[in-house]
């Protein structure tokens, strides 16, 4: 591969990393807005009525609230995975740029030594 091709790959990786980071940030925001979403209903219910219907309603709200909190946690976990993938892509882009620089340096020095793609720099 030429240094220009490696740089294009690095640019693509950086673009994908930015997209993943933006997606992760959106998921984190959504997760934060979901947590505790239904909790205020319990207090409102306790002020509005009493008895078996109120207790059943509050139990249902607690169950639903727990399910929403679990979904929020799943979103947060996915966001962590996206952040990790973005970091991996950034590292790969850095490696590709170092390879491109090595090729450019070898070419400028008049060396005709092939530099293997995938070499660790």
Q: Is residue 52 part of a domain?
A: yes
Q: Which domain holds residue 40?
A: 3-108
* Nearest CA among 13, 3, 4 for reference residue 94: 13
Q: Is residue 63 part of a domain?
A: yes
Do residues 27 and 75 touch, judged by C-beta distance below 8 A? yes
pLDDT in tens, 57-111: 999 999 999 999 999 999 999 999 999 999 999 999 999 999 999 999 988 888 7
Q: Is residue 22 part of a domain?
A: yes
Q: Is residue 115 part of a domain?
A: no
Q: Is residue 113 part of a domain?
A: no
Long-range contacts of 1-6 (CB under 8 A, 24+ apart): 1/117, 2/103, 3/99, 3/100, 3/101, 3/103, 3/104, 3/107, 4/100, 6/96, 6/97, 6/99, 6/100, 6/103, 6/117
Q: Is residue 74 part of a domain?
A: yes
Q: Is residue 21 part of a domain?
A: yes
Q: Is residue 10 part of a domain?
A: yes
pLDDT: which is higher, 46 or 113: 46
Q: How many domains does the chain have?
A: 1
Do residues 68 and 34 touch, judged by C-beta distance below 8 A? yes
């Amino acid at each position: 591969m030429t240094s220009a091709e490696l740089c294009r790959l690095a640019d693509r990786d950086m673009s994908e990393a930015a997209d993943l980071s933006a997606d992760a940030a959106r998921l984190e925001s959504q997760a934060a807005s979901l947590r505790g979403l239904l909790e205020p209903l319990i207090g409102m219910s306790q002020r509005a009525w009493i008895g078996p219907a109120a207790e059943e309603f509050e139990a249902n709200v607690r169950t639903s609230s727990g399910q929403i909190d679990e979904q929020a946690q799943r979103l947060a976990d996915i966001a962590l995975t996206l952040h990790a993938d973005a970091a991996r892509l950034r590292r790969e882009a850095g490696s590709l740029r170092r390879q491109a620089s090595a090729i450019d340096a070898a070419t400028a020095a008049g060396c005709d030594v092939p530099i293997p793609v995938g070499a660790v720099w």
